[in-house]
Amino acid sequence: MDEPRRVILLGATGSIGESTLRILRAHPDKLQLVGVAASSSAAELAAIVREFGVPHAALTNDEAANSAVRDGLFPPECELHCGEAGLTSIATVPEADMVLVAVVGTAALQPTLAAIEAGRDIVLASKEILVLGGAFVMEAARRAGVRLLPADSEHNAIFQCLEGHPERHLDKLILTASGGRFRDRDPATLGEVTPEEATDHPNWSMGPKITVDSATMANKGLELIEARWLFDLPADRLEVVLHRQSIVHSFVQYVDGSILGQLCPPSMTFAIQHCLLHPERAPGVDETLDFSQALTLDFAPVPAGRYPCLDLAYEALRSGPVAMAVFNAANEVAVADFLARKIGFLEIPKVIRRVLEQCGDRFADSLGDLLGIDGEARRLAR
């Protein structure tokens, strides 16, 4: 890297954004922030712009954008991109080298495709993009000759373990899962779970939606679907194993029976920095494992029937791209309603199953068709 790599950060005010900013502060000689985007956290975004001297910012919430303009929150030398269209325009500014996508949900699909078409490398921290449009995103990346670098800790671990090994040597991928907040709780009591309990993860500090997904293991189901697109493997070569400590982030098993794993503490900074600097490495911003201290790692199979959302994800994975997209859409709506106290914790998989039964067997031969089915699945879920 002769010059700093210029980065656009979509989702700058979330937990992934916060981890990314820590990395940028640690490596100003290697990374330069040239664009940031958020939904409605205008004051927080403006503070980032001033700290890093960012020339481009985007607020997708129109009311927040109008208020920011009216109050003069952003310095005059920063161009403010507004509304949903602003996310696409900032993702394609000419001075960027790569776009880190950390927007929760599917809102960043079109901006990501636009950034790929513009020739930008993509650091992917939003799994829903591949879950909804995996075939189209992967094809667009191949056509444009850009890199898709996975920042989810599980997929980044696999990416690291695969480097230098020919594809024909690969047997299967094994994703680790903590088991979430309720891994030891009596299943008979899960109907009493509150949003406050479900958003308290035992190992990771994440946003509310992804933390609920971890508790239901829908998140691991989404990661299986993402792995299918990233690494082009069918469902029967993708496994999940419970690993309470979240130290081993995934395994790669080769045809000779050898298994490689990637280890680091449960902080997203390790995976994000690996992507931002790849193929270079530099000192990390968090302390790594200390083997002068006792360390216990344990693994166990996923108990049958314990996580119905994971079972539904496997069903969707085997059914095809439309079912994968429907699974994601129904889960997003169900989790949002759970967090709003409109439904109970155990109703989340019931909503997903009913929506899959009604529109999971559709066919889509274009991204427009798939987006239409996504919208219909959301209406059905509501």
C-alpha span between 205 and 107 (Å, rounded): 22
The answer to whether 156 is annotated as binding is: no
The answer to whether 172 is annotated as binding is: no
The answer to whether 201 is annotated as binding is: yes
The answer to whether 343 is annotated as binding is: no
The answer to whether 154 is annotated as binding is: yes
From the centroid of its chain, how far is CA 123? 10
The answer to whether 30 is annotated as binding is: no
C-alpha span between 134 and 62 (Å, rounded): 29
Going by C-alpha positions, the residue among 274, 20, 1 that lies closest to residue 9 is: 20
The answer to whether 126 is annotated as binding is: no
Beta carbons of 263 and 270 less than 8 angstroms apart: no
The answer to whether 116 is annotated as binding is: no
The answer to whether 191 is annotated as binding is: no
User: Which sign, positive or negative, has the C-alpha torsion 300, 215, 129, 163?
Assistant: negative
The answer to whether 178 is annotated as binding is: yes
The answer to whether 152 is annotated as binding is: yes
Q: Which of helix, strand or coil describes residue 141? A: helix
The answer to whether 13 is annotated as binding is: yes
The answer to whether 223 is annotated as binding is: yes
DSSP code for 363: -
Q: Which of helix, strand or coil describes residue 173? A: strand
Q: Which residue, chain included where needed, has tokens 């006792």? A: 294
The answer to whether 16 is annotated as binding is: yes
Q: What are phi and psi of 269, to 5 degrees?
A: -65, -30
The answer to whether 366 is annotated as binding is: no
The answer to whether 315 is annotated as binding is: no
Q: Mark the binding-site residues for 1-deoxy-D-xylulose 5-phosphate, compressed into ranges.
A: 127, 153-154, 178, 201, 214, 219-220, 223
Q: Mark the binding-site residues for Mn(2+), compressed into ranges.
A: 152, 154, 223
Q: Mark the binding-site residues for NADPH, compressed into ranges.
A: 13-16, 128, 207
Q: Mark the binding-site residues, compressed into ranges.
A: 13-16, 127-128, 152-154, 178, 201, 207, 214, 219-220, 223
